[in-house]
Amino acid sequence: MGKGPYSLFEFQGVLPPLPVPELAETCTKYLEVARPLLSPEEYDRTEEALRLLQEKDGKPLQKYLIRRSWKKRSWLVEWWIENIYLKRREPLPENSNYYFLDGLELPASCQLSRAATIIFNLLKFRELVSSEKLQGVFFQNRVPMCMDGYRYLFGTCRIPCVEKDYFVMHHHTKHIVVIRKGYYFSMDVYTHDDGTLQQLSPAEIKEQLRIICETADAEDSNGLANSLASVTSQHRTVWAKQRQVMLESEQNAESLEIIETAITVISLDTVSPQDLSEQAKLVMMGDGTNRWYDKSMTIVVFPNGKAGATVEHSYMDATIFSRAWEYVLSHEQYKNGQVPAEQCAWWRKLAPPKQLQWNLNGFTPALEGAKTHIQKTIQDIDLVVVGSDYGKGWIKKQRVSPDSFLQMALQLAYYRLHEETPKTYESATTRMFALGRTETIRSVSDHSVKWVKSMDRDDVSPEDKVSLLKKAIQYQTDYKVAAVNGRGVDRHLLGLYLAAQDMGHPLPQFFNTKAWMMTDKLSTSQAPAKFTQEWKLQTCTVGYGFGPSHMEGYSVSYMVIGEDLVNFHICTRKHCTATMSEKMGAAIKQAMTDMKALMEGK
């Protein structure tokens, strides 16, 4: 592949379709995945069910998938978005959305200067996307990757419905919405100048934000009305029915449309986090007044200048947003912590931001319920961010994959806390294929279980422990390569399941086995980074995270930062007394310490 430059969607039309794996290959792989998690009796039942799936029940379903792959650019993506996101009824903030934090170093402690610069850079990135001047991404600098997700960054919103949500896209809107103390303001970020449409400068954006803060801070509290954003945190059907009632008022309909069509939402919070763990939880959850969870993204800026974003997941995986966020953070410019003076040498007469109005008469019970729900959820979320004592630099010197090494650290930490092997999810991107999203890496193997159980045994030599660890790492590495190349098992099995539904066929016996129905007690993901030449260690995001997929499990996302640091974002639910994020963080650090000592022969 030449150096280009290539436009954003240059290779969209020539990307290969996601393959449909061979049924026999998937069944064989799944037995490997399931064996460490099942009793001998459960394994035998799974083996028999997979034999039936391969030899009988799955054959018509496999043919259906193959025919579907001939007709569509991706046999999976429509099913994936519909069944994994839009049909799901669980609340978004802790079950679907994800968050990102800002960089290692704080470039500006002035809230309004930071917010203005972030908005300015976001709009510059939007311009690169809309003009298609943003360069595409290449896997290992050679293979073009799907860029479709960039279409959903700006001006998009998930709309709640009783049975299945839908998505709206508005690519030509010129306003953002700013939330301050539960008040909402529509703010134009473009102006006509000399007959052309021009983006506001950082100084102009800052002045508009100052007007918003001055207006909101002078307002008396509207009580429950200030908690309106909490309605978006609820069960989707509950929120859908409430939204239908709200739309009966023309005033509400107008205000909702302004939010839902906005380029993005900005929240100017009033409480500053004191550490990364508090920052992560505040960005993820807010306080019930300041996150519109349906929007593709809500950018959060705190009074001390720290920042982050919460992102709706339906159409946009973290590999998409992280590039936009990296661009924003790496292009910030300040002078003494303020918007540079040279950028405010001249001023245009701008219309002031417009405060949105609401008619919430009779809506009090709904607001009370929504506020109670989000407050209970906030109290239940246990989120910590833990940094490692070494990073990928040392791991690479051991000639092993850093990601695989870190996955084994998570396995060891979990086993030491719970004395069991967790079903583990790790996401892998399939964006080498048209409309590709993700596949599951299954890190647990016979090798990983043997190694984990050996680590605290004195009767196993260090040499044998190293050998077992390297076998476990190699298995995970090989599985990841297969997953990235469309040869994982989870999406194929999901496709067979949905094919049976589409065809009106009885579900094969396999889909009633424990192996299939087990949920992931350890849900993990590595945050992608280093998309741009402007990437700098100082501005690199300190990571991202999401809620646990299992009420009695963990979510662990990790960010490899430079050569010497890995940040782990660990989230659990406090009502589950068996899981504690702080204990898991300590166990991960200890696991990494012990693994380093083992590899160094100490």
Residues annotated as catalytic (active site), given as ranges: 313
b (16+ CB within 10 A) / e for 455-476: beeeeeeeeebbebbbbbbebb
Q: Is the peptide bond before 506 cis (omega within 30 degrees of 0)?
A: no
Whether residue 519 contacts residue 550, with contact meaning beta carbons closer than 8 Å, is answered with yes
Hey, is 323 helix, strand or coil? Answer: helix
Count of residues making up the chain: 602
Q: Which pair of structure tokens corresponds to residue 464?
A: 């044998």
Compute CA 524 distance to the chain's CA centroid, rounded to the nearest angstrom.
11
- Write a three-state SS string for 420-462: CCCCEEEEEECCCCCCCCEEEECCCCHHHHHHHHHCCCCCCCH
Query: How far is Cα 165 from Cα 315, in angstroms, rounded to an integer?
Result: 12
Report residue 228 as tokens: 């309106």
The amino acid sitting at 141 is N
DSSP string, 522-571: EEEEEPP---STT--GGGSB--EEE--SSTTSEEEEEEEETTTEEEEEEE
Taking the C-alpha atoms of residue 279 and residue 583, their distance in angstroms, rounded to an integer, is 19
Coarse DSSP helix, strand, coil percentages of the chain, rounded to the nearest 5 percent: 45, 15, 35
As a whole number of angstroms, the distance between CA 591 and CA 561 comes to: 19
Q: Are strands 175-180 and 166-169 parallel, antiparallel or unpaired?
A: unpaired
Token pair, residue 562, equals 């430079």
Q: Are 102 and 308 in contact (CB under 8 A)?
A: yes
Pair of tokens at residue 137: 């991404």
d(C-alpha 547, C-alpha 94), whole Å: 5
CB of 505 closer than 8 Å to CB of 58:
no
Bridge partners, 59 (sequence order): none
**Token pair for residue 488?**
């994982």
No. of H helices and E strands in the chain? 19, 20
Buried b (16+ CB within 10 A) or exposed e, 425-447: bbbbbbbbbbbbbbbbbbbbbeb
Residue type, 7: S
Instruction: Output phi, psi for 437, to 5 deg.
Output: -120, -100
